[in-house]
Amino acid sequence: MGADGRHSTVRTRAWLAPVESDAPMDVLWFRISREDDDQVPFVSVGSGFTIVAVDRGSYWQLAYCIPKGEYDHLRTYPTSVVADRIRQTIPNIAERFTQEIESWDDLKLLSVSVNHLKCWHRPGLLCIGDAAHAMSPAGGVGINLAIQDAVAASRMLGPGLAAGKTPTEALLRRVQKRRERPARIIQAGQGKILADLYPKHLDDTYKTPAAAKIVRRSRWLQKTAARVIGIGLRPERV
């Protein structure tokens, strides 16, 4: 079972090559100390960037999202350029950034990739989760889909494995057929939303996508979007 993520060794050694899709952003992760009276929004948007802040108790874990491929250009400047941009939206964090971030080595680049395998299996092998379909981090849906893949595979392959039988390729193909469409639809949706959401260049001005404005006006659409993100398009039952 290849369940070792988007950089799957199992997938590589099985000569299963993913098909890459466009991903509109990269992410710089870093930590900033947290104070008791901090008021930091979960999502902040500025000119050419988006920041997601996760409260880890003793520190903030921040994702500084930038247009795809702009990292090398950004690195030609001192790290203070990031502090200057953060100051647009979270001034107190920007001040701590200048004190705690010493070099670009303190910012960890996540090059976001979105891809999928055309075929998830070989004789005796099945890839699931990010090994089969690497998702964008948007919405945190990757873990949901990976668990659903695992539940479906367990239900469909488990009885035969328990009886000591090797799953046939036809059975492995059935697992892929059941789980592939939900993953691909979510990937397509992520690609469209993120293409509209993230600026194409660092100096672009952020504009709220029309789709986001429409969703905000409809409680039904908000509930539907939340259900798709939280539960998925084809929930699996144990």
Q: What angle do CA 180, 135, 55 make, to 5 degrees?
A: 140
Q: Tokens in use for 210?
A: 């029309």
Whether the predicted pLDDT of 73 surpasses 60 = yes
Asked if 187 and 135 count as a contact pair (C-beta separation under 8 A), the reply is yes
Least confident of 108-112, 126-130, 173-177: 108-112
pLDDT score recorded for residue 230? 75
Query: pLDDT band for position 152 (50/70/90)?
Result: very high
Query: pLDDT band for position 172 (50/70/90)?
Result: very high
Identify which has the larger pLDDT, 67 or 121. Answer: 121
Q: What is the pLDDT of residues 5-32, one digit of tens each?
A: 988 999 999 999 999 887 777 889 999 9
Whether the predicted pLDDT of 85 surpasses 90 = no
Q: What is the pLDDT of residues 223-232, one digit of tens each?
A: 877 777 777 7
Query: pLDDT band for position 39 (50/70/90)?
Result: confident
Instruction: Give long-range contacts, CB 8 A cutoff, 24+ apart: 200-205.
Output: 200/24, 200/67, 201/48, 201/67, 201/70, 202/48, 202/49, 202/66, 202/67, 202/70, 202/73, 202/74, 203/47, 203/48, 204/47, 204/48, 204/67, 205/47, 205/48
Q: What is the pTM of this model?
A: 0.71
pLDDT score recorded for residue 13? 95
Helix axes 169-197, 210-217, angle to 10 degrees: 100
Query: pLDDT band for position 206 (50/70/90)?
Result: low
Whether the predicted pLDDT of 51 surpasses 90 = no
Q: What angle do CA 133, 136, 137 make, to 5 degrees?
A: 125
Whether the predicted pLDDT of 219 surpasses 90 = no
